[in-house]
Structure 1
Amino acid sequence: MLAQPLEELAVPELEQRIAEGDFGKIRVLAAEQHGEIVYRKRFDGAELGEPVDIRSAGKSLTALAVGMVVDDGLLESVDTRVWPYLGQKRGEPFDSITVKNLLGMASALDCNDWDKRSPGWEERMYRTRDWRGFALALPARKFERDERGEGPFAYCTAGVFLLGQVVEKATDESFDAYIQRRLFDPLGLEAPVWKRSKSGEVQSGGQLTISDEALLKIGRLVLDRGEWRGKRIVSEAWIDTMLTPRHRLGEHVFYGNLWWATPLRSPRGYEGAWMMKGNGGNIVAILRDYDAVLVVQAENYNRDDAKRHAFTALTSLLASLEAPTGV
């Protein structure tokens, strides 16, 4: 939850405020309900569908990719130990870090993007040519598991990048080629633009430039538990696992497998929502009770008010939708 109450704005007032610059660089707002687009507007003069860098919201796609690799029988399970699997046995605690640990941001790596002093701070990785080598060589932190077997949460882009390396090992394809074939092609989507290292490694940990149309479709796929227009793309079991809270990060904020659970205010009170979230105010929210997908694409990167502006936009969009009945 945000510390201060959000502004209550009808969509026309919100549009005016965005046009006047009160909400920084919000680029696109879009909403679909019951599988139909009900709102879609661009605010920067570019064409609808022009892609925007959604930063760490792209991490949620890596969770889908891992699930599809497991579904395809190419990776035995999320209990696979990452360092041995990648041929990099290193001793403990590294050799016990699993795919599941990295999916939940709960590994023994000394890596925290929210702390610039952290050895694994993502900006340090970007300065190197070899991101794989950087991530695999990170030091360990003090690490104890709770009664559920979960380690403490630490937001680590380098760990999510390593998940992309696991996908590549399992599939014998580049990460972008696999997810294009298994996810984007079935959704009828053109290839997004993936950030790469100087040596050409795909950044599966975010910084993905993608259209709002693609995000609406991905949100609908997840909302429909892995189905797209009657075709199974991801197993129901994986979607359910991915959207199961693993860490409580605030009074009402939870983290699953690279997806966030954060409530959204509606005319009825607060609604449960799962989200893809990235720097700058980039959010894709899915709301089961409303059967709706909401998208904010913004370039308010590294601004303290980015999340507030995005949540104000989301609550305005939600208030404009058909309310659920009998829920």
Structure 2
Amino acid sequence: SLALCRGRSFRTTAIIRQTDTRTISRGIPWPPVACSPVDGVSEIEFTEPDEPEAVTTAPVTSATTEEVTHVDAAEVTSHPIEVIQVTRQETDPVEEQESLLTEILDPDGIDTLILMSGPGSLSVEGSDSMNDIVIRADVVCRGAGLARQQQLASEVRIAIDRTAPGRIRIRIIDPQLEDGEECQVDVTVAIPTRSDSGLAFQIQDSSGDIFVDGFDGKLSITSLRGAIEVTHCSGSVGISSGRGPCTVTGFEGAVKVRDGSGDCVLGQVTGNVEVWGRGGNLEIRYISGDLTVIDGREGITVQSVEGNLTMYGTPLSNSTIEGVSGSVMSKTGAP
């Protein structure tokens, strides 16, 4: 009989068939070790084959354990993971729609031209090669969706009406905007120059920069917010600015500036100059006429005045005055 042992294990690597001459496989101790039988197992019966076969000893290969030092992930070729680049977009971009509006006026019979514009820049150019007054409005509307952009752009209009004989008013009509929408209208006006300087041009602008070049006539500019620049013009100019810098250079005629807040620079003016400067720096140079400064509380810089200089409420301690050909007077209060 053959019994199993508790607490003792044997490793057998090959099965040995019994013959008349018993051969014990390598790994089984001999002589047999006495051990107590396991409960429930009584004996194992061996049945010898009819014809004895040669006993074959199977070779035993010892398995060796190798230390894994590194696993190269690049060697794995089955089902590679594709890297997908993702661009995060917080909100959908608001597209814009552009359009151009044009109106043409015959200047004959026009004595006063009034232009009322809203947000956006304004450029006025005088030309001696033109016969008509040309108004162009470059419209850029931003909104959600092409249909909405086209609707906003189509609602922008150039309205022209006659308020009195010889008096023409031009208005830029803006659309009604919703939250997140914007419509900017940049206006360009080309005006033919006239030798008699009889045209009066009044600009009323809510916000945006204003640039006037080469205009000949009576110019009036009123702006709530934005920079104002007038250059190479003739006639007369009156400027009233709420907030923003002001520059007048190369002007032939009288200049009157009421600057609410912002720096003001006047230079190369042939004519009398009057400046109301409630706030900001005032720089005035090369004036061939009388200069009057009212309420220059931040002080002034004056250089080369051929006429008289009169100052009201302007501290001399913060002022620099050079090259005044006429008299210099400083007074308190206002005229």
TM-score range, shorter chain: under 0.3
Answer with 1 or 2: which has the greater Rg.
2
Structure with more of its chain in helix, by fraction: 1
TM value normalised by structure 1: 0.21
Q: Which structure is higher in RCO with an 8 Å CA cutoff and minimum separation 6? A: 1
TM-score by length of 2: 0.21
